[in-house]
Chains A and B, each alone.
Chain A
Amino acid sequence: MPDQAVLLGLEAGAARAATSLFPLEVRSLSYAVSGKRLLNDLSLQIGARPVTVVMGPNGAGKSLLLRLLHGLIEPTSGHILWGGRPLTSDLRRRQTMVFQRPVLLRRSVIANVAFALKARGTGSTERCMALLEHVGLETHANKPARRLSGGEQQRLALARALAVEPEVLFLDEPTASLDPSATAAIEGIVTAAHRRGTKIIFVTHNIGQARRLADEVVFLHAGRLVEHEPATKFFTQPSSPESQGYLEGRLVF
């Protein structure tokens, strides 16, 4: 359905980019709050294609890393370079983030999507409806957004994130409080976006989900980068005791 894809604007992402955001390079990144180092001297390089899954126990710094990469917070020290350049608002416009708890405007479902589109100076009712159809919410278009179920709310948050045609989609444990079927729906939409060329950086501490989605895994523990490996290698031969323990379901602190 080429028409639908055009309406969704999902093909546009890769084609439009005059200057690539990749490779994403992180150099000795640290983040501290009142002297306490929450992320410590993190360096890694991430390419444009693979689905990158960030794993690790609670408090490892996964969400912090995502917020730093997206520019929601400023690092204490270190550099983040997107295609060799520091993050500017122009580059930030090419990325969006879906949060663990969806933040929905106190408006109708369709108005939530329209708001995101309008922020980019585009947007028609057809485009909104196409996006809602894409996430299976077209019959709820005029419902108040905050009356949707948890899974539906997160799908709406995804539709809104995709509305801005991101080249990079950050997801911060988007299914942490959802049941399996709602989780499957979210994963399906994310996978579809990836197939269309959107870079996915996905935080989860659900091992099954990481196995389903990941092409490569970034494993954090206590604010440090422990492993950054292709998914097949990470899941079959984890090299560090922390990741081995985590994958075996032992409690790692």
Chain B
Amino acid sequence: MQDFGGAFRVAWQLVLNADADLLDVIWLSLRVSLSAVSLACLVGLPLGAAVAIGRFPGRGAVLVVLNALMGLPPVVVGLLVYLMLSNAGPFGWLQLLYTPTAMIIAQTILITPIVAALSREVIEQLHIEYAEQFRSLCIPPHTAIGALLWDARYSLLTVALAGFGRAVAEVGAVIIVGGNINHLTRVMTTAIALETSKGDLALALALGLVLMGIALAVNAGVMTLRTTATRYAYA
């Protein structure tokens, strides 16, 4: 346990010195995970809203699948994306394996179901409240979906946050499709895994602390936004 004190010291030094390697890793982590969250929201939010207000045969099955996909193991997603992008795979010609793009693709697949399933719940609640009014005003479905997404925006921020948390913290998918190449595809989680296996526990722990710091900051930011929104009765 002597490593904890050392880890804090190393972490502070890394942050205070704005260590170039560390900044590289942090920047790539944020870039990959934020891109993945954005893409996942682009697909997952309308999908969740459509399932929330739609009544179609097989809806129950869709819900079960959507909820089950929330628990997709990252390594499995990584493996599937790897198979798709490897030279022998159908998308091998894109030459994307071991690039940040591949990592974004893998994380997007990983968290789109999370965003869709959670937003479905949020939207469905709001829809119960709005449904009759919308029907009375003859609002067409696509307008209704837009309005529900907009009116639930602060709750959906939390949904996006859950997706971001999952993306930035996972290691299995990015290490398989990214390869943990220094200065190219090394993100915080893969760096932590590497430093741990090399035995540099202090550095690994320091990276972990920085990762948790980022997660904390993002959460605090979203919470503040939500509280403000609630105060103004928009949420």
Contact = CB atoms under 8 A, between A and B. Distances in A.
Interface of A: 67, 70, 72, 89, 92-93, 95-97, 99, 103, 105-107, 115-116, 119, 144-147, 164
Nearest to B151: A106
Contact of A107 (B138, B139, B234): B234
B217 interface: no
Contact of B147 (A93, A95, A105, A147): A105
Contacts of B17: none
Nearest to A94: B138
A107 B235 CA distance: 9
Given A105-B151, A106-B151, A107-B151, A70 B136 contact: yes
Contact of A115 (B129, B147, B232): B147
Contacts of B135: 72
Contact of B233 (A93, A106, A119): A106
A63 to B, nearest CB: 11
A115 B151 CA distance: 12
Interface string B103-140: 00000000000000000000000000110110111110
Q: Which of A70, A116, A119 gathers most chain B CB within 10 Å? A: A119
Nearest to A146: B233
A72 B132 contact: yes
Contacts of B151: 105-107
A107 to B, nearest CB: 7
Given A95-B136, A103-B130, A105-B130, 14 more contacts: A72-B135, A96-B136, A99-B132, A103-B132, A103-B133, A106-B151, A106-B233, A106-B234, A115-B147, A116-B137, A119-B139, A119-B143, A147-B233, A164-B137
Contacts of B143: 119
B138 A103 contact: no
B7 to A, nearest CB: 44
Nearest to B235: A106
A89 B141 CA distance: 14
A92 B143 CA distance: 17
Contacts of A106: 151, 233-235
Contacts of B132: 67, 72, 97, 99, 103
B133 A99 contact: yes
A144 B234 contact: yes
A91 B23 CA distance: 62
| Chain B facing A: main interface SS | helix
20 contacts: A72-B135, A89-B138, A92-B138, A95-B136, A96-B136, A96-B137, A103-B133, A105-B130, A106-B233, A106-B235, A107-B150, A107-B151, A107-B234, A119-B137, A119-B138, A144-B232, A144-B233, A145-B233, A146-B234, A147-B233
Nearest to B130: A103
A170 to B, nearest CB: 8
Contacts of B136: 70, 72, 95-97
Contacts of A147: 232-233
Nearest to A101: B129
Contacts of A107: 150-151, 234
B193 to A, nearest CB: 43
Contacts of B232: 144, 147
Contacts of A144: 232-234
A227 B147 CA distance: 42
A115 B134 CA distance: 10
A189 to B, nearest CB: 17
Contacts of B133: 99, 103
A95 B135 CA distance: 11
Interface string B201-235: 00000000000000000000000000000001111
A103 B132 CA distance: 9
Kindly list the 4 A-B residue pairs having the minimum CB-CB distance in the complex, ordered from nearest. Answer: A103-B133, A146-B233, A97-B136, A106-B151
A103 B234 CA distance: 13
A103 B150 CA distance: 16
Q: Among the interface residues A89, A97, A106, A119, which one has the most CB atoms of the partner chain B within 10 A?
A: A106
Contacts of A116: 137
B138 to A, nearest CB: 5
